[in-house]
Chains A and B, each alone.
Chain A
Amino acid sequence: METEQTPHDAALIEGLRAGDEAAFAELMRLYGAGMLRVARMYVPSRAIAEEVVQEAWLGVLKGIGRFEGRSSLKTWLFRIVANTAKTRGVREARSIPFSSLGDGGADEPTVDPDRFLGDGERFPGHWAVPPQSWAPEGRLLAREAMDVIEREIDRLPPAQQAVITMRDVQGFSSEEVCNALDLTETNQRVLLHRARAKVRNALEEYMR
Chain B
Amino acid sequence: MRLARELACNEIVELVTAYLDDALPAEDRERFEEHLVFCDGCDRYLEQMRATISATRNVGVGELPPELEARLLEAFRDWRPA
Residues of A within 8 A of B (CB): 18-19, 21, 24-25, 28-29, 31-34, 36, 50, 53-54, 57-58, 61, 109-111, 113, 116, 123-127, 130-131, 133-134, 137, 140-141, 145-146, 149-150, 153, 164-165, 168-171, 174, 185, 189, 192-193, 196-197, 199-200, 203-204
CA distance A196 to B15 in the complex (A): 12
Closest Cβ of chain A to B22, distance in Å, is: 10
Closest Cβ of chain A to B27, distance in Å, is: 19
The residue in chain B whose Cβ has the minimal distance to the Cβ of A62 is B79
| Interface residue tally for chain B (C-beta within 8 Å) | 44
The residue in chain B whose Cβ has the minimal distance to the Cβ of A57 is B72
CA distance A183 to B51 in the complex (A): 26
Task: Judge whether A21 and B55 touch: CB under 8 Å.
Answer: no
Given A54-B71, A110-B13, A134-B51: A21 and B77 interface contact (C-beta under 8 Å):
yes
Task: Judge whether A50 and B13 touch: CB under 8 Å.
Answer: no
The residue in chain B whose Cβ has the minimal distance to the Cβ of A21 is B76
CA distance A41 to B48 in the complex (A): 28
Task: Judge whether A200 and B61 touch: CB under 8 Å.
Answer: no
Q: Which residues of A contact B53 (CB under 8 A)?
A: 168, 196
Q: Which residues of A contact B59 (CB under 8 A)?
A: 146, 149-150, 153, 169
The residue in chain A whose Cβ has the minimal distance to the Cβ of B57 is A168
The residue in chain A whose Cβ has the minimal distance to the Cβ of B67 is A50
Closest Cβ of chain A to B75, distance in Å, is: 6
25 CB contacts below 8 A, A to B, read: A19-B79, A19-B81, A21-B80, A24-B72, A24-B76, A53-B72, A54-B68, A54-B75, A111-B45, A125-B10, A127-B41, A130-B41, A131-B41, A134-B48, A134-B51, A137-B51, A164-B56, A169-B60, A169-B61, A171-B57, A189-B17, A192-B17, A193-B14, A199-B52, A203-B52
